[in-house]
Amino acid sequence: MRGFGSNEIWFILLSARWTLILSMVAFAGGAVGGILIALMRTGRFDWMRWTAIAYIKLFQGTPLLMQLFLAFFVPSIFGFNVDPWGAAAIGLSLHASAFLGEIWRGCIEVVPRGQWEASSALGLRYWRQMRHIVLPQAFRIAIPPTVGFLVQLVKATSLASIIGFVELTRAAQVVNNATFQPFTIFGLVALTYFIICWPLSLYGRRMEQKLAMATR
């Protein structure tokens, strides 16, 4: 058993960059999938709506841990080798797209129906309605819940440790196995997560207050 010193602290803090990178990659992937899901959910074709609903139910109704396991092990059945980084990025992106799609679907539907009717009266088709009228308004409404989900996504990256991806939580497990000082180690990890997430939470709360004032 070795002592817990500056090298161990530095190793844990450096691993936080992988937590941030994985969060950003998963959020970017989830944003692409999320906007597609949201548009399918609010589209005019039944098959698109039902496909989006099935996707959302699947990923919201199953544990994220199981989704990460499947993203890691299923490709190998078909002869594809996926490393922990790739599996974590894929699993979290699919997970994020289901939640962001539902968040953004709600924000799109909050836009007053009069806006839709007015744009239809002007002869705009669905996609031009979305691009020029609906989505710009929905975007402002979506900022607070989207930031709130990003905070949850940052914390969810800790589950990637179970498939061997060395992010903040996995680094803490490695150091703890060598030093056996869980209170100090995981206390430092909790503080690091707090430092990452707290500014995002403040920003989301501030945007929510601005939105509430603008709608009065």
Rounded mean pLDDT, 73-86 = 88
Rounded mean pLDDT, 126-134 = 78
Whether 214 shows a pLDDT value over 60: the answer reads: no
Percent over 70 (pLDDT), the chain: 97
Residue 1: inside a domain: no
Residue 10: inside a domain: yes
DSSP track, 84-112: HHHHHHHHHHHHHHHHHHHHHHHHHHHS-
Residue 138 belongs to domain spanning: 6-214
At 168, the pLDDT band (50, 70, 90 cuts) reads very high
Residue 40: inside a domain: yes
| CATH code, 148 | 1.10.3720.10
The pLDDT of residue 216 is 55
The pLDDT of residue 26 is 97
Residue 172: inside a domain: yes
| R_g of the chain computed on alpha carbons | 21
Query: How many domains is the chain partitioned into structurally?
Result: 1
Residue 213 burial by Cβ neighbours in a 10 Å radius (0-12, 13-18, 19+): exposed
